[in-house]
Amino acid sequence: MKTPTARIAPLHLSRTLHSSFHANLRVPRASVVSKWLRSRNLTTAPALAQEAVPLRKHLKDEAKRKKAEAKINGVAKKLKTDPRLEKWELAVGIEIHAELNTECKLFSSGPTEGSDGVANSRVAFFDAALPGTQPQFQVATLLPALRAAIALGCEVQRKSGWDRKHYFHWDQPNGYQITQYYEPFAKNGTLTLSASDGVPTSDLNGADSIGIGIKQIQMEQDTAKTTHHPPSTYHIDLNRAGHPLIEVITLPHIHSPQTAAAVVRKIQAILRSVDACVTGMELGGLRADVNVSIRERGTEGTGSSYSGVSGLGQRTEIKNLSSFKAVEDAIVAERDRQIAVLEAEGVIEGETRGWTLGATETTRLRGKEGEVDYRYMPDADLPPLVVGSDLVDHLRVTMPELPDETVDRVERQYGVTLKDAKTMVDLDDGDRLEFLEETVELVLRRSGDQATDQLRVGKLVGNWILHELGGLLATTETSWATMTITPVEVADVLVNLQNKQITARVAKQLLSTLNDTSTSPRPSVDHLIDEGNLRLRPLSDEGYEVLAMQIMDESPDMVAAVREKGQKGKIMWFVGQMVRRGEEGTVEPENAREVLERLLSD
């Protein structure tokens, strides 16, 4: 039988990379993440094509997808009717590992990026555990970690320490991982979630929001990357070894799979908004481990406890979940497995389990290690980490907007709905929100820049960006990142629409034409309007009546539906017919509706 071998590519040890504290002190903005990704060729373009969908269509399609999926695997029926869920209560705690946005590694001057992805090309002596090398804490790595802690409402500790977590594996050259098990740099945070974050009403219990406690946030090293080449060869790439991570550990305050996924999604959004992490789950920059336990309802006073939370059942840990769907599905599967074991009078074993997308059950990986197994001990080569209050205060006052703050501002400032504001903030790493703000400013400037108009203009621009531009991108199967339409062009179109120079139908036609135009220089909006003879030339009152009467004479059944059955909604069918039949730029829907309402009420 052939034994597995660990094959290591040649090492190219990096020279010292000097990164001073002040050189890395940045004031991030909430919208910088997308630019940062593009500057490092880490685009999320594959995901954007799916996101560039009008909100209403997205919600409708998502509802259809979930309904079809639930019908296939029976989850929906089980969640609603399974009587076991009335007897047993779920408790979940999550450990989120996020890679910090820094230029150097945690304890060496090795760079975290570069070399065009060549294996083992960004490895300092300490990363490879060469004899005689010692860790040297890189101060710049502390800054994004502190931003994350402040954003998550944690108490930054004046003094924290470093511990060695011992275990042997070929992805850990030193034979131990340096972490902050006993004295983390941040403690006692709170994450607030509401229904708009995806929390089910059953978890809210009538409240507007719930709070999930964050036990601590600790800094630690990442491991090397292992690539399996079947049947028995493994390649080790030490480029990732030593990358700085934070581990966010929540309390077991989570009682549903949906809330667990919402917690991970919310933490990822917060870390991105303060420029703390490199990428999200979709690119491997964030991973989650979930601790799942079951207890019988009404037995809160018994069982085990964790950091002040009592009455817990025996937990199992599911490692390395790399998507929100994986978090939710793995918890459902493990919850159901534990319920089945307990109802069969079995015993839940403390163990580490794995999850594969598309599976229906978790699988046992190994027995659950504890504090004794890892032989935690203070790292003798590293002094304590001391953080000054002046640094924390500076980062706190220069903190960019958090996602909830941005959503609230967009809703108030631009008059859009909460749902639309949240969608605008979430889409395209903030690029669509920047587009909205620039377009609103341009429209206001051209219409007199009156503050009283901001809500009206903001709502108008928001609807066109989300629904009309989103629909255009979906129809043409393009992404926001590749769209050529500019805020100036959208503002030109909407100003003409506001001034009744064009109809809404023409406005949509202009956006479609601009999106298809690749020539340079691009024609202006006014040029397109004049060239196509698209300016509004309203019909006279008599012209509206003649056209309306003609359509009414041809559609007696529709007339009867409005007059005799009171189906007032049918009036919009007549409006549509008038717009289609009238010469381009002659029929205004509002005027057409007024004429039809008068004629159909006779």
**Mean pLDDT, residues 200-205:** 93
- Each residue of 129-152: pLDDT tens digit? 999 999 999 999 999 999 999 999
The answer on pLDDT for 345 being more than 80 is yes
Is it the case that residue 8 has pLDDT exceeding 60?
no
Inform me whether the pLDDT recorded for 98 exceeds 80.
Answer: yes
Q: Is 84 helix (H, G, I), strand (E, B) or coil?
A: helix
**One domain, residues 276 and 316:** yes
Q: Give the C-alpha separation, 480 to 470, whole Å.
A: 8
d(CA 138, CA 24): 11
What is the model's pLDDT at position 62?
A: 62
End-to-end CA distance of the chain: 93
| pLDDT at residue number 479 | 87
Whether the pLDDT of residue 9 is over 50: the answer is no
64, part of any domain: no
Relative orientation angle of helices 571-581 and 556-563, to the nearest 10 degrees: 140
Determine which helix (DSSP H) or strand (DSSP E) holds 96, and give its type and residue range.
strand 88-99
Query: Domain check: are 282 and 196 in the same one?
Result: yes
Does the residue 339 lie in any domain?
yes
Give exposure, 413-433, as e/b (b: 16+ Cβ within 10 Å): ebbbeeebbbbbbbbbbbbbb
The winner for highest mean pLDDT among 20-24, 87-91, 541-545, 560-564 is 87-91
Mean pLDDT of 78-105: 86
Helix-helix angle 257-273:324-343, to 10 degrees: 150
- Over residues 369-428, the pLDDT tens digits come to 776 788 999 999 999 999 999 999 999 999 999 999 999 999 999 999 999 999 888 888
Say whether pLDDT at 559 is over 70.
yes
DSSP track, 476-530: HT--GGG----HHHHHHHHHHHHTTSS-HHHHHHHHHHHHH---SSPPPHHHHHH
Q: Which residues are 212's β-sheet partners?
A: 191
* 29, pLDDT greater than 60: no
Tell me the mean pLDDT in the region 111-119.
Answer: 85
- Of 358, 374, 394, the position where a domain reaches its end is 394
* Mean pLDDT to the nearest integer, 430-442: 92
Out of 531, 552, 570, a domain closes at 531
C-alpha pair distances (Å), 297 with each of 301, 312, 435: 10, 11, 50
Q: What is the pLDDT of residue 17?
A: 38
**pLDDT at 19 (0 to 100):** 40
**pLDDT value for 567:** 87
Residue 387 shares a structural domain with residue 463 = no
What is the pLDDT of the chain when averaged over all its residues?
85
Q: Are residues 344 and 466 in the same domain?
A: no
Please name the helix (run of DSSP H) or strand (run of DSSP E) that holds residue 210, with its range, or none: strand 209-221
The helix (run of H) or strand (run of E) holding residue 75 is helix 75-81
pLDDT at 51 (0 to 100):
42
The tally of domains found in the chain comes to: 3
63 pLDDT band (50/70/90 cuts)? low
State whether 335 and 241 are in the same domain: yes
Residue 88 has a pLDDT of: 93
Residue that is written with structure tokens 């024609």 in the block: 523
* Cα separations in angstroms, 79 against 86, 298, 361, 372: 10, 20, 16, 39
Regarding whether 343 and 212 lie in a shared domain, the answer is yes
Locate 465 and state its tokens. Answer: 């960006």
Minimal CA–CA distance to 164: which of 185, 150, 180, 144?
180
In a domain, 451, yes or no: yes
pLDDT of residue 23: 39
The residue that leads in pLDDT, 537 or 463, is 463
Q: What is the per-residue pLDDT for 520?
A: 80
Q: Residue 254 pLDDT > 90, yes or no?
A: yes
Answer whether residue 337 is part of any domain. Answer: yes
pLDDT of residue 446: 83
CA 583 to chain centre: 46
pLDDT for residue 52:
44
Q: What are phi and psi of 468, to 5 degrees?
A: -80, -50
How much is the pLDDT for 80?
A: 53
Query: Can you state the angle between helices 142-151 and 257-273, rounded to 10 degrees?
Result: 130
pLDDT tens for residues 484-515?
Answer: 899 999 999 999 998 888 888 889 999 999 98
Same domain, 306 and 333: yes
Q: Is the dihedral of CA 349, 184, 326, 66 positive or negative?
A: positive
What does each C-alpha distance from 204 to 194, 285, 327, 399, 422 come to in angstroms? 8, 30, 20, 29, 19
The answer to whether position 19 is within a domain reads: yes
Q: Which of 432, 435, 455 is nearest to 444 (CA)?
A: 455
Going by C-beta distance under 8 Å and a sequence separation of 6 or more, which residues neighbour residue 11?
120, 123, 128, 238
Structural contact between residues 384 and 392, judged by C-beta atoms closer than 8 angstroms: no
Tell me if 250 sits within 8 A of 216, measured CB to CB. no
Local confidence band at 60 (pLDDT 50, 70, 90 cut-offs): low
> Please, are residues 123 and 297 in contact by the beta-carbon 8 Å criterion?
no
| Residue 536 maps to a domain | no
Task: Give residue 32's pLDDT.
Answer: 44
Please check the confidence at residue 558 and state whether its pLDDT lies above 80: yes
| Bridge partners for 8 per DSSP | 236
Phi and psi (nearest 5°) for 503? -95, 165
Specify if 90 maps to a domain.
yes
Residue 154 sits in the same domain as residue 244: yes
Residues in the chain: 602
How far, in Å, CA of 559 to CA of 551, rounded? 10
Q: Return the structure tokens found at 452.
A: 């009283």
Provide the Cα torsion 383, 387, 388, 389; round to 10°: -150
Name the percent of the chain lying above pLDDT 90.
57
Q: Is 480 helix (H, G, I), strand (E, B) or coil?
A: helix
Check residue 259 and give its pLDDT. Answer: 97
- One domain for residues 282 and 377: yes
Q: Which of 531, 551, 580 lies at the terminal end of a domain, its last residue?
A: 531
pLDDT at 285: 82
Q: How confident is the model at residue 568 (pLDDT cuts 50, 70, 90)?
A: confident
Same-domain check for residues 143 and 186: yes
pLDDT attached to residue 563: 87
* Residues 369 and 458 both lie in one domain: no
pLDDT of residue 67: 64
Query: Which of 70-74, 133-137, 194-198, 203-207 has the weakest average pLDDT?
Result: 70-74
- Residue 252 vs residues 91, 270, 306, 357, 491: alpha-carbon distances, Å: 6, 20, 8, 24, 49
Could you give the percent of the chain with pLDDT greater than 70? Answer: 85
520 and 555 share one domain: no
Whether 50 is covered by a domain: the verdict is: no
pLDDT at position 68 over 70: no
Note down the domain range covering 462: 403-531
pTM for the whole structure: 0.75
pLDDT of residue 279: 76
Measured between alpha carbons, how far is residue 592 from residues 198, 243, 577 in Å?
A: 42, 64, 10
* 592 Cβ contact list (under 8 Å, min separation 6): 544, 548, 574, 575, 578, 579
Contact 596, 573 (CB under 8 A): no
Helix H or strand E encompassing 79:
helix 75-81
Token couple for 113: 């990026």
Confidence check: pLDDT of 93 > 90: yes
pLDDT surpasses 90 at 180: yes
What integer is the mean pLDDT of 79-92? 81
Secondary structure string (H, E, C) spanning 178-200 = EECCCCCCEEEEEEEEEHHHCCC
**Mean pLDDT confidence for 343-355:** 94
